[in-house]
């Protein structure tokens, strides 16, 4: 009987340690990742297309602000990380279309880039949209 109690205590301690592991979030207002590229059609003014992902005041729930600049034009939006991955670090890669960046994330212990949110710009508009859904 004592052996059963000892084994139960051992397993329950292991689970509590894992559950109590604190999640780490960036400070609200901090730029967590950014990327930029020159706008080829405007070499005279040396303008750029840039995207910044900034920790929102609600970052503990996985909310991030997105700032996009296309030369003098500015757009802003928000996205929320998937449930269960609120503490995943956003990362950016260049998209397949011109002036497009894909915001995604990686899970600890996994090298997969999970595409999640697309930001694309042109002279006439800025478009931000979720491109995939995940469940963890």
95-116 pLDDT per residue, tens: 999 999 999 999 888 899 999 9
pLDDT of residue 17: 47
- At residue 56, does pLDDT exceed 80? yes
19 confidence band (pLDDT: 50, 70, 90): low
Where do runs of H (alpha helix) occur along 61-131? none
- The residues with which 48 forms a beta bridge, in sequence order, are 38
Burial code of 71-80, b = ≥16 C-beta within 10 A, e = fewer? beeebeeebe
pLDDT tens, 120-130? Answer: 998 889 999 99
Whether 128 and 121 have beta carbons less than 8 Å apart is answered as no
């Amino acid at each position: 009987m004592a052996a059963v109690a000892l084994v139960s205590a051992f397993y329950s301690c292991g689970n509590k340690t894992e559950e109590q592991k604190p999640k780490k979030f960036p400070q609200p207002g901090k730029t967590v990742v950014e990327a930029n590229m020159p706008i080829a059609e405007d070499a005279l003014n040396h303008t750029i297309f840039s995207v910044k992902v900034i920790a929102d005041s609600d970052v503990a729930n996985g909310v991030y602000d997105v700032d996009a600049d296309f030369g003098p034009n500015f757009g802003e939006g928000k996205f929320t990380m998937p449930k269960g991955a609120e503490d995943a670090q956003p990362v950016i890669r260049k998209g397949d279309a011109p002036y497009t960046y894909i915001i995604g994330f990686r899970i600890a212990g996994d090298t997969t880039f999970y595409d999640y949110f697309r930001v694309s710009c042109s002279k006439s508009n800025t478009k931000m949209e979720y491109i995939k859904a995940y469940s963890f």
